[in-house]
Every structure is written in C-alpha cells, then in structure tokens.
Chain A
Amino acid sequence: MRPDEIIQASLQAGSQIEKRSRLLLVIFFCMTLLGAAVFLSTIAGPQAARAWQAYLVNFVFWTGLSFGAVLFVAIMNMTSARWSRPIKRFAEAPGAFLPIACVLFIVLYFGREHIFPWIHEPVAGKQLWLNVRFLFIRDGAGLALLTALSLVLLYQSASADRKAALRSSPGSLIEGKRPKLQAALSPAFGIVYAIVLSLIAIDLIMSLDPHWVSTLFGAYYFMGSFYTALAALMVLCGISLSAYGLQDFIMPRQFHDLGKLLLGFCVVTGDFFYSQFLVIWYGNLPEEAQYVILRVRNTPWQLLAWTVLIVCFALPFVILLNRKIKMKPRAMVMLGIIILIGMWLERLLLIAPSLWKGEQLPLGMIELSISAGFLGAMALCVLLFLRQFPILPLSDPLFLEMLQASHEQSRETAA
C-alpha cells in the first residue's frame, strides 16, 4: 500500500466519522445531560448518599479505564510494538476524557460528607493520612500530574499525524523519525500510573472501610483498570472496523493479539484477587475478614459477588481460550461489553457494601442514569477526539513498517 493510499483511506474514514457521528453526538450529549440532571436532583433529595455512591463508582471505573487506555499507548511506545499501530488512535481516544475526570474529581469534594465515613468517625492513629484536605490535595495533584503526562503523550502523537495528513505528500511519511519525547515520557507514565492509581484505590475505595487494609489493593485496582481498558479498546475497534471501513488496517490479527492480551490480563487480575483473598482467608483477622465476609456471605451482596467472579474472570477465561473466536470482531465486541459491565459491577462491589446499609442492592434507575451520564460523557470525548485527528497514525514509522510487513506476507500467501 502506497503512502498516499493510506492517507486516502484515513481521510475517507475520517469523513465517514464526520458524517455518521452527528446524531451520535446529540444522543451522547443528551445522555450526559440526563445523567447530570438525575445526579443533581438526587443529591438535593433524601437519597443523596446513594447518588454520591453511584457517582464514585462511575468516577473510579471511567477514570481507571481512561488511564488504562493511555497506558496501553505508553506500553506500545516502550516495546516498539508494531501489531497494535493501526489501533493506536482508538487506544488514545479514551484519554480525551481525562480533563473531565479531573473536574469530576473536584466535584467529589462536595460529596465528602456522604462518601467518607471517617469524617464522622475518625479512626484513631490514621487521621494524619485520612483527613479531607490532605486527601484532596494529594489525589488532586496526582490526577493532575498523570493527566498532564497523558495529554502531552496524546497530543504529541495525534498532532504529528494531523500534520502528516495535511501535508499529504506521499514521501513525507517515510521520513518520520521515532518521536523522542514520546519515548521518554512513556516509561515515566507507566511509573506514575502505578503510583497515582494506587493512591486513588487506597483513598477513594479502601478508605471507605477505614479499618480494612490490603497491601495489594492498589495493584489490584490498576491492573483491573488496564483489563477494563483492553476490553473497551476491543469494543471500540470492533465497532469502528465495519462502520468506518478500516478492514484493510484492523485485521483479524489485531483482534487475535488483543484477545491474547485480554486473556492474559483476565488471568492477572483474577490472580491479584486470589492472592489477596488467600492471605485474608489464612490470617482470618476480624478486621480483614469482615470485608470479604460482608461481600461474599451477606445479602444483598452475595449474588453480586458471584456474578462478578463469573462475568469478569471465569467466563472470559473459558471463551478466550478458543483461538478462532478471538479473531471474530463481533464476538469480541460482545465479550468486551460483558467484561465492561462485569468490571463496573466489580467496582460497585468494592465500594457500595462499605457505604450502603439498605436491604436491597443499590442498583436502580438512579445508578443507571448516572452511569448513562458518565458513558455519554466518555463517548462524547472519544468521538470528538476521533473527529479531530486522523484515524490512522500516519506519521508513525512503526505503523508503516507494520503495513509493509503484513502486505508482503499477504502477497506471499497469495502468490
């Protein structure tokens, strides 16, 4: 495939997105408005705590997903991966949600009374860490730093591609050198990702049950977030593949590799869960075990816990063992959606039992509309990002190498 053909295909996909996305933009915007309206009206009423709880679950889920997606790009840069180059823009897209995530974090400040039980009942000896001002300063700073790193990383790669598309001179593509700034920032992002997401996990999830401690919890959260991001990437690729005519670039091979990664991180996340669980089970200390017992043995959580175990780990593991199914985009989109729902429920299972004292599962219209609002905002960001920049990483030398290699391979098998 010649460089001008690649640019042509990218422009064509871009105009497809332009044409088809108008209605979607309106729909997602309405979803966002609906979510915001329900949230605002509920926090003014008697069910304020429930609304804040749903807000926190969504915040933790979607922020983790966006950072996880950017981590995928950073890992691509660090490993000089070629196979994943055609889906690079899709991996970057959820990163566009991050500035909004920072604003949403500030909103959490107004719900602190409903969210953090240790404000009403301070835990002796932990006040130094668990106090409102310090928590918001350290988490806010961490989020801002990681967001800034992500945005620089995304902007560097996306704007270079836009320049390449504007120049549209066939030769200009090949000259592209490996971008140095991206190469330097990617490992830094990986390290800061682990630290900041651990901080979020400890402060926004673990501290809701302030007597409970698990040293692996931060790692469990950031691994789970990466797993979520991979599932989201799968969904995004599968949907865009047919909608925007990218079959020449996103091939079964990309789905196969993404499927293998998904299987790997399904196992890793499951393993992190089990490592924590085993230690808690063995030690059987009351303050540790009650966290698990509440979720696994008590109603209304016990059913949710089993659902999460099956939907997030058992089901994807068994399905992804199959080689052929990993290359079928439609099946992978279905599985991706199932994993996303499962991981959302998992976040709910981590947060809600610490706060919710009701008889019934807190899963109703309030949770649904607030989640729809978050989904709408995320989809809006992704679409706007994809409209703004070329859909293929035109300036990426590894992308061209990858295309050449796969082209030669297909010619060989055809000959």
Chain B
Amino acid sequence: MIDNDRLIGIFAYRDCLQAALKVLREKGVDIQAVYSPVPLHEVEETLSAKPSSVRYFTLTGALLGIVAGIFLSVYTSLQWKFIVGGKPIVSYVPMVIVAFEFCILLAIVFNLLGMLINSRLPRFSIPTHYDTRFTGDRFGILVQCAESERETVAAILKKSGAEEVRHAT
C-alpha cells in the first residue's frame, strides 16, 4: 500500500497512553511502536505482544555453552594426559562445573547479542519522527493507517488525551 500514512501521538500521562492503546487495539489499528522513558508493564500486557525471541538466543547460548565446556575439558585433558590422584583422564565430575560455567557465560553473551539484534542496536541515526522528549517526560505512539482513515485515527489519539498528534515522516 502506497497511500499508507504514519501518525505519531504524544502523551503526557501514562493513563492516557494506556487508554489510547486500548482503543487503538479494539479498532485494529496497526501500532508500530510505543515510546516511553520508563518501562511500562501494563503496556506490554495491553499490546500482548508475543514473547520476544531473545529467549531462543539465550537457550542456544546455554546449550552451546554446555557443549563447549565439555569439549574444552575433554580436549585439554586429552592433550596433556595428566593422571591426577588416580582419576580417569576424562572424568565427568569436574567437567560438570566447567560445563555449568560455560553454559552461563555463553547464555549471557547470547542474551546480550539477542537483545541488541532485536532492538536493532546500535543505531547511528535517529528516525525523523522520534521526539527527544521520549527519553524525558513524554510517551509516544506510532501508528500506521491508510490515508482515508487518518482523520479517525487522529481523533482517537486526540480524544484519549494526546497533547499533540502529527504526521510522521
């Protein structure tokens, strides 16, 4: 659709933001982004966005970590073939600890990577519709709608208490 239009509504109060989101979702308007200077759990619930895919990154990291830990301890033991205290060269008991530590390490690293990739960070240019007050004292909703619906969507935003509704380029 070429005649798509994007609107951004700026709110001073989280109650207004929340009310606007409720109405927008009921009407089936495409909400593209919600900006907020603080984490808002009720917004997450209202948007009922599907759980972020970061957890799959973490799981992959954890499993890879276990494998890497086992591999490292087996590989190094076999390289040196040191017999300590009559124990077998490849023994499982201390391997658990190395595997555990690697599991946590890689899970964390992958978690961080997953977060960065999903939030498309680092970002070197700020989108033009972004208002710097979103990191200060204002909330924002970015919606996409057809040219014909523009008036009604703008009315919804205004009616819910938006201070300002403007065209997002």
Contacts and interface: CB of A to CB of B under 8 A. Distances in A.
B18 A278 contact: no
Nearest to B22: A415
A377 B42 CA distance: 46
Contacts of B87: 284
B2 interface: no
B122 interface: no
A278 B93 contact: yes
A412 B18 contact: yes
B94 interface: yes
A252 to B, nearest CB: 13
Interface residues of B, number: 13
Contacts of A282: 85, 93-94
B45 A413 contact: yes
B54 interface: no
A281 interface: yes
Contacts of B93: 277-278, 281-282
A134 interface: no
A278 B97 CA distance: 10
Nearest to B93: A281
Contacts of B94: 278, 282
Interface string A284-301: 100000000000000000
B42 A284 contact: no
Contact of B96 (A274, A409, A413): A274
B101 interface: no
Interface residues of A, number: 10
B45 A284 contact: no
A282 to B, nearest CB: 7
A310 to B, nearest CB: 15
A415 B15 contact: yes
A415 B15 CA distance: 9
A412 B86 contact: no
Interface in B132-151: none
B85 A284 contact: yes
A415 B18 contact: yes
Contacts of A413: 42, 45-46
B93 to A, nearest CB: 5
B168 interface: no
**Centre residue among B19, B93, B97 by max chain A CB count within 10 A:** B93
Interface in B8-35: 15, 18-19
A284 B86 CA distance: 9
Contacts of B86: 284
Interface in B76-103: 85-87, 93-94, 96-97
Contacts of B46: 413
A281 B15 CA distance: 60
Contact of B42 (A277, A278, A281, A412): A412
Interface in B52-89: 85-87
Given A274-B96, A412-B42, A413-B46, 7 more contacts: A282-B93, A284-B85, A284-B87, A412-B15, A412-B18, A413-B45, A415-B19
Interface of B: 15, 18-19, 42, 45-46, 85-87, 93-94, 96-97
Interface of A: 274, 277-278, 281-282, 284, 409, 412-413, 415
15 contacts: A274-B96, A278-B93, A278-B94, A278-B97, A281-B93, A282-B85, A282-B93, A282-B94, A409-B42, A412-B15, A412-B18, A412-B42, A413-B42, A413-B46, A415-B15
